[in-house]
């Protein structure tokens, strides 16, 4: 069965490849550019009230320990 190619999806993939290449595939640089453009365009930025925290500080992955 031949898979149908969706031109919209292909355009999204091509844009993603172009952006990644422009920033040497560095996700931190890509993110920083996106934040910079959001600020310049006056778009609201989501700011969490607190930093992410581990759900299980013990690092045991949430396993229940028997005493």
Over the stretch 6-65, which tens digit does the pLDDT of each residue have? 999 999 999 999 999 999 999 999 999 998 998 899 887 777 788 777 776 665 555 555
pLDDT, residue 30, reads 96
CA torsion angle 49 46 19 11 (round to 10): 130
| pLDDT of 64 | 58
pTM over 0.85? The answer is no
- The SS3 assignment for 55 reads coil
Give the whole-angstrom CA distance, residue 32 versus residue 66. Answer: 45
pLDDT at 7: 94
SS3 35: helix
Place of tokens 């999806």: 9
């Amino acid at each position: 069965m031949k898979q149908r190619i969706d031109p919209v999806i292909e355009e999204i993939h091509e844009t993603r490849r172009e952006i990644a290449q422009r920033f040497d595939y560095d996700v931190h640089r890509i993110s920083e550019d996106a934040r910079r453009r959001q600020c310049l365009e006056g778009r609201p930025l989501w700011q969490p009230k607190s930093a992410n925290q581990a759900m299980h500080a013990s690092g045991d992955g949430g396993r229940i320990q028997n005493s």
